[in-house]
Each structure stands twice: as C-alpha cells, then as structure tokens.
Amino acid sequence: MFISPHHLSAIATTISLSLSACIATAAEPSSLPSTAIQHADQVLAPWVADDAPGVTVAVSWKDEIVYARGAGMANLEHNIPLTPTSVFQVASVSKQITAFATLLLVADGEIDLDADIHTYIPDFPDTEAVITVRHLLDHTSGLRERNSLAGMAGWLPDDIRTEGQMRQLVKRQSGVNFLAGKEIEYSNTGYALLAEIIERVSGQTFQTFTKDRIFDPLEMNQSQFPDNRNTLIPQRASSYYPDQSGYQNVIVAAETYGSTGLYTSALDLLKWAENFETRTVGSPMVFELMAERFQAQNGDDSTFAKGQELRTYKGFETWSHGGTDAGYRSFLLRVPSEDLDVVVISNRTDFDKAAFAFELADVFLLDNPPEPESDIPNWAPASPEDLAAYAGDYEIFPGVIFALRVENGGLTFASLGAPRVDLQPLEQIGPREFLLNQTPERTLTFDDPVDDRSATISYRLGMDGVLKAPRIHLTAFNRSGVELQGYAGRCESPELDTYYDIKLEDGALKAKHPRLSAFNLDPYQTDTFSGQGALQKLEFVRNANGQVSGFYASSPLAERVWFSCEE
C-alpha cells in the first residue's frame, strides 16, 4: 500500500490568517527589553483573527511571567476569544504529570521502580520478560500500543473510549512488540498503566491524587484529569480542523487518562514548568529521577523518558514534550540554564506546535547566546559508492516501507508500491542527509555504512522529533503469480475480540470488518501483504498441509497480533 510521508506526522500545512485584532494580553515586567515583546508579538501575529481558532502562549523568564497572549478564537459559534486562561486538552503533555505523580509515590516508599508491575497490577497478563515500573516510565516496556489495538479491533476515532475499556483491551494481549528493556518505543499503554498503579497504590482516583498532590499545592486551579467527557470545564476552548468550508468541530471522545487527558490553561501549565525551578512540590529525589535517562539493550537512549524529551537546541540543553488530540496541539519547553519556560497550546489541527515553541523561545534566548556549537564538517556530494550504500528498503512502521533507489546519478525516494509518478529525487544538504519533498522540515539521514550498507535511516519531522527505520531485505517477488483465493476466510482474534472476512472480489483480495470500510490487501513478499488503516501488515502462516491457518497483523506500535482463519 502506498502511504505518503505526509501521513506519518500529525502536523498539517499551516494556512494563512488575516491580521485582524483578537489578542488577549497580560502585563509584562519592566525588566524585559521592549524589543522582546515586539518580536514575540511578530511570532504570534499570523494567528491573530476573529474568525478562526488560534493559539495561547505563556512564557516565564528569570522567575517572572514575561509574556502571556491569546490569539484567535476559543469558540467560533459563540465568538469567544482565546486568552491565556482558556482551557485545552493537552494530550501527551499529560505524561509529565503522570511520571511525576509516580515518582512522588516512589519517594514515599510506596512504589519500587524496579518491581515487576504484577506487584501492583496482579491481574496483568504474564509476559516472557519481567516488565517493571521503570520500563513504563522510560518507554522500554515493549507493550503494544493500545490506541493501535483499538483501531485493529474496529473502533472508530469518534467512538467513546473509557479507561476501563482500554484497560480490558490491554489485558487481553498475550504478546508484546519486544522484550522489556531491549528497545525504546513510545508507549501510551505504559503511561496508562502508571495511572492504574497510582490508583491502586494510593487508594485514590488518579484525578483526586493529582489534584491533592500536585495541582492544589501549585495553585493550578484550572487543571484536572476528568474521567467523563461530559464533565463541565469552565473556559474550555473548542477544537477545530480547517476544511474548504472553513472549520469543523473535532470532539475528544476518549475518557482516558495517564497517557493523556489533562485539561489545563497556558498559565496553569506555566506554574507546572516553574515547579522544576522552585521545587515547591517534590523532593530532590523526584527531580533527580525525572531527569534520569535510560539506555536500552540495543544502545538507544530514552531521550523522551518521564514525559520529557532531552535535546540540545542551539547549544542549550532543553526539556520538552508535545501533545496532539482531536484539534488540540500543545508543547511545553523548558531551558533550565536560562530559567526560561515556554507553553504553547492551540485548538486547530494545522498548528505546528514544536516549531512555534522553539521560534518563540528564540526571542528570549537571543540576548544570551550559548557557546557556538561545533562547526558542521565539510562535506562533499555523495559518491556513487555512497549512494549504493544508502539505497535499499527501510521499514519505518510495519508494512510502511521507504524504497530508496539510485537513478540518474542521484538518490530517489518512494513508498513501496507507489506509482512511478510519485518517485521523488532527493537533494543532499549535508553528510548523509537529504531533503524529503524539498521541505526543510523533513529530512532523511543515513547511518554510517558498515560493510557497504547503511543499517538505518532517521526521518526527521521538523522540531517534533525523529523516526528511525531499519533496513530490511526484500527478495524478488512476482505479485501476479500469487494465488489469492487461498487466503480467503474468516479470521478471528481473541486478543482483540473481533474478526475480519478476507474475500477475493473483482480480482483483488479485500479485508472486511463489520465496522470498517473494506480495503485491499496487496502482496509484496511471500505470504506477506500490506493493508490499510489499523492493519498495515499481514503475515500469513500455513499449516503442515500448506493451507493458510492464520496471520499476524501489525500496525504502528502494535505488532504480530494473531488471527486464526477458517475457510
């Protein structure tokens, strides 16, 4: 199946807005240069409108709130403007709170980081390798992504998902993506389990525990983890996506928490960020553990452990995390050496949250530039031998394969199975680094070749992060010679409590689910097919008689879920 690289990121192309007045302001201290405020307003200006959703920001610098603004509208139907006290769902930024809450109980002596999670969740299914609380915090558990599992099971994006339903789904799983501690893989499942552990250990709901131990002491009076989507939330901003008619509502249907679920405002979230300097809540042990990084057995570092991504930006050490759900986009950025905290929250799907946050941070970093980073080494265009070492097939998600080829003295890119018209020439911009789609925010970087082959490519999605894709070996394959009828049948998964009917119709093999639109299954290796949506890759298994007995289904972050098939 052809998948455009644009679909691999939650970031959409930014549309322009008129500069009509709609900024809600807050007073700034006299210690800040007036030019900084002017420059920050210029960064915000494209989002000023009285007929479009927008963004709220709050910045703390040198222990003072120096900038707080709202641009655009909180609600288009009632003409309510955004302000720094507008409340949004900040999605995965919630993970910082969940990690911190867990570590509060660690400091209390109630949770052991290296204890088997069965200690706290005895009804969790057994796994081949022990999964510890530390594995959950560091994204090294290997557990399947529960949102992907829900999609496989036929749940639609607008379906109401309760925390109880999602926990049951996770506890039906008998397999994992990898053994705990072996690799690093972002996991919403892990952080949802941390919330369950907090509830079981504390005897309180997650909502009550975070309120009592974090929000109330920090006077975060607009912050909460509601467990009911019908909860009344004062000053809540609606979320939107743009279309040809203007804007459409996007509803948060999930009633889940731990990995997501926090409702807060820009000013409230700034209080949370400032706690890393003031340490009003939390012992030294808690803050030390929040900053601790873990190295997996494969050598990768857990740069985004504990809900905070550690990276170097223009010579500064930064801690950050973003969030995406429905039409909400959020980003929290801290630069500890400069005592700088930046909060950015939007209610529109086409907002590039990370790029905006770092651009806004630049305004307050320019007066104190760090030591210059080491110069980029001189580089020459890749030689024919280099290009040959880069060329090959790389699997970024199960069934989503980047095909890199050498043509006309250069490197080309396409997703496996894409028509030739979609073939893209790549422009080299640095040592082993190439532009994708002629877009500076999207690049492919190849590992140093070993034995004349690069083993991995890194796909950078602007300031949002990097996805790694390992090289895979595909054999020559004749699609036209595949006997498709042999794969037909009803296939059931006890782990998902669902089934798919695999049928041959009009010369194409199709997967049909009672709640989903039918989609084609396209063979690209022996007994291996690419699919669509939640079923990206199907690997069929044959019995001793050579007949298909079932398949392993995989999707992003949820691999090899077993389906048994009958004709």
* DSSP type of residue 124: S
Query: Largest Cα–Cα distance of the chain, in whole Å?
Result: 81
- Verify that 462 and 483 share a domain, yes or no: no
Q: Quick one: tokens of 476?
A: 């020559």
Q: Is 524 a member of any domain?
A: yes
CA-CA distance, 445 to 431, in Å (whole number)? 8
Residue 456 lies in a domain: yes
Residues 295, 300, 301, 304: is their CA dihedral positive or negative? negative
Same domain, 386 and 464: yes
In-domain check, residue 557: yes
3-class SS letters over 151-166: HHCCCCCCCCEEHHHH
Q: Is the pLDDT at 1 greater than 80, yes or no?
A: no
- Residue 76 CB partners (closer than 8 Å, separation 6+): 51, 52, 53, 238, 240, 247
- Estimate to the nearest angstrom the gap between the alpha carbon of 496 and the chain centroid: 23
Yes or no: say if 266 and 353 are a contact pair by the CB < 8 Å rule. Answer: no
Q: In this predicted model, what pLDDT tens digit does every residue of 386-402 receive, in sequence order?
A: 999 999 999 999 999 99
Assigned domain for 494 exists: yes
The per-residue pLDDT for range 340-386, each reduced to its tens digit, is 999 999 999 999 999 999 999 999 987 665 655 555 668 899 999 99
| 466 and 493 housed in the same domain | no
Please give the helix or strand (H or E) that residue 310 lies within, else none. Answer: strand 309-313
Distance CA 10, CA 500 (A): 28
Q: Is 404 among the domain residues?
A: yes
In a domain, 558, yes or no: yes
- Hey, what are 213's tokens? 């131990």
Total residues found in the chain within this entry: 567
Residue 246 — pLDDT band, cuts 50, 70, 90? very high
| Shared-domain flag, residues 387 and 445 | yes
CATH classification of the domain holding 400: 2.40.128.50
Instruction: Please tell me whether residues 395 and 420 are part of one structural domain.
Output: yes
pLDDT grade for 13, boundaries at 50, 70 and 90: very low
SS3 430: strand
More confident residue, 184 or 534: 184
In a domain, 200, yes or no: no
| Domain co-membership, 450 together with 486 | no
Indicate whether 412 and 384 sit together in one domain. yes
Q: Do 443 and 485 belong together in one domain? A: no
- In degrees and rounded to multiples of 5, residue 481 shows phi and psi of -90, 5
Can you say whether the dihedral through the CA atoms of 434, 437, 441, 446 is positive or negative?
Answer: negative
Q: Six-digit token pair at 126?
A: 């057994």
Give percent of the chain with pLDDT exceeding 90. Answer: 83
Domain range enclosing 488? 479-566
Least confident of 37-51, 406-420, 461-475, 492-506: 406-420
195-to-107, 229, 303 alpha-carbon distances in Å: 16, 18, 21
Together in a domain, 453 and 483 = no
Listed residues 420, 450, 472: the one ending a domain: 472
Average pLDDT, stretch 53-64?
A: 95
pLDDT digits (tens, 9 = 90+) for 430-488: 999 999 877 778 999 999 999 999 999 999 988 888 999 999 999 999 988 899 999 99
Q: DSSP code of 486?
A: G
Shared domain check, 504 and 557: yes
The overall average pLDDT reported for the chain is 91
- The single residue listed with the structure tokens 């097939």 is 393
pTM (predicted TM-score): 0.91
Same structural domain for residues 508 and 539?
yes
Residue 455 falls inside a structural domain:
yes
Task: Answer yes or no: do 496 and 553 share one domain.
Answer: yes
Domain final residue, candidates 457, 472, 487: 472
Q: Please state the domain count of the chain.
A: 2
Given 422, 446, 472, which residue is the final one in a domain?
Answer: 472
